[in-house]
Amino acid sequence: MAYLDNISVFVRVVELGSLSAAGRDMRISAAVASNRVKELEKYLGVRLLNRTTRQLTPTEHGRAFYGGAKKVLEAVEEAEASVAALSGQPRGTIRVTAPLGIGKRLIAGGIPEFHQLYPHIEVRLRLSDHEVDIMREGIDVGFKLGLLEDSSLRMRGIMDCERVLAAAPAYLERRGEPERPEQLVDDGHDCLLLRFPGAREYFWTLQTADGPKKFEVSGPFDSDDGDVITGWALAGHGIINKPRFEIEPFLRDRRLKIILPDTPPPSVKLAAVYPHKKFQDPKVRLLLDFMATRCQRIIGEILEGR
């Protein structure tokens, strides 16, 4: 097993790009991760990683070994899944990712409950509003709001979520409430955008009488954290475009007000995405079923004010 453990560490180092990140992911120290890679290099008689003060990249030998090593680990994982299916006792680790908003509101709280039901399954949750490369980073399940654009992944839809534009009364009193979508641009409204490298929200799409229309909105500042943007809106700094369930409590207590209700953004699909091969893994199916039911229940309760 020591050799297989060393291979596992090496694969995670390549996928995550650093010893420390791989160590955190596998719950070992960076020093232990480094020693395991060195043991693997000694056994193979080649250097697998180029180490500099700023980055860590696989050598030519490392790239070649990574491809085969990844297949070995996938074969072991598939064999374990087959045994789990026969025994009825799924076990192993599931790596899960989600955006900060839905991760905190919908996913994180369910993981301890899921572990109580299936104590032999470990769940490692990574929350980020940045786009995560599920295949490259070895993620088993990703929860997202939006369409599936990667054909190498499968998607399981959970539910459609209404989106709204909203702002604080203080902002609307100061800047005026737009009555037409065009005023968002023409009047220079402060639109609070979720932006990070690779982000696509450089415009807002609204449903008009002539069909969906894109508006190139802008604002004086933006963030890569959706909750920060909501906080700015609550403080009266601008307009946000959000799934309604994320801000429903603030709409109910009138700290935020929906604007342009007749031309709302299109609904967005809450979904789980995962690599094709994971569909046959019992522990992944169990997590998908559990979280789908939980998300539907919690969103329903939020919108009903419970």
- pLDDT digit string, tens, across residues 251-277: 999 999 999 999 999 998 999 998 877
Composition of the chain by helix, strand, coil, percent to 5: 45, 25, 30
Q: For 1-87, CATH number?
A: 1.10.10.10
Both tokens assigned to 236: 């009266």
Pure H helices in the chain: 2-16, 19-26, 30-44, 60-87, 100-102, 110-117, 169-175, 182-186, 226-234, 244-252, 282-304
Query: Is 198's pLDDT higher than 70?
Result: no
CA distance 200 to 191: 15
Both tokens assigned to 127: 């929350």
The partner residues of 153 in beta bridges, in order of sequence, read 275
The enclosing H or E element of 272 equals strand 268-275
Q: 163-266, which class in CATH? A: alpha beta
Looking only at the bridges linking them, the beta strands covering 222-223 and 153-161 are unpaired
* Residue 158 confidence (pLDDT): 93
Burial code of 127-157, b = ≥16 C-beta within 10 A, e = fewer?
A: bebeebebeebbbbbbbbbeeeeeeebbbbe
Provide the sign of the torsion angle of the four alpha carbons 47, 49, 50, 52, taken in this order.
negative
For the residues 150-179, what does the mean pLDDT come to?
91
Distance of alpha carbon 79 from its chain centroid, rounded?
Answer: 28
Number of H helices, E strands in the chain: 11, 14
For the residues 168-180, what does the mean pLDDT come to?
95
For the residues 150-154, what does the mean pLDDT come to?
73
> Which amino acid, residue 173?
E
* Residue 41 confidence (pLDDT): 84
CA 248 to each of CA 151, 175, 233: distance values in angstroms, whole numbers, following the listed order: 33, 23, 14
CA distance 158 to 294: 10
The partner residues of 163 in beta bridges, in order of sequence, read 243
Bigger pLDDT: 83 vs 301: 301
CA distance 304 to 110: 20
Both tokens assigned to 1: 């097993």
Q: For 89-161+267-306, CATH number?
A: 3.40.190.10
**What are the domain boundaries of the chain?**
1-87, 89-161+267-306, 163-266
Whether the Cβ atoms of residue 141 and residue 132 lie closer than 8 Å to each other = no
* Residue 259 confidence (pLDDT): 96
Structure confidence by residue, pLDDT tens digits, 35-93: 888 888 888 888 888 877 667 888 888 888 888 888 887 777 777 767 766 666 788 88
Q: Do domains 89-161+267-306 and 163-266 have the same CATH topology?
A: yes
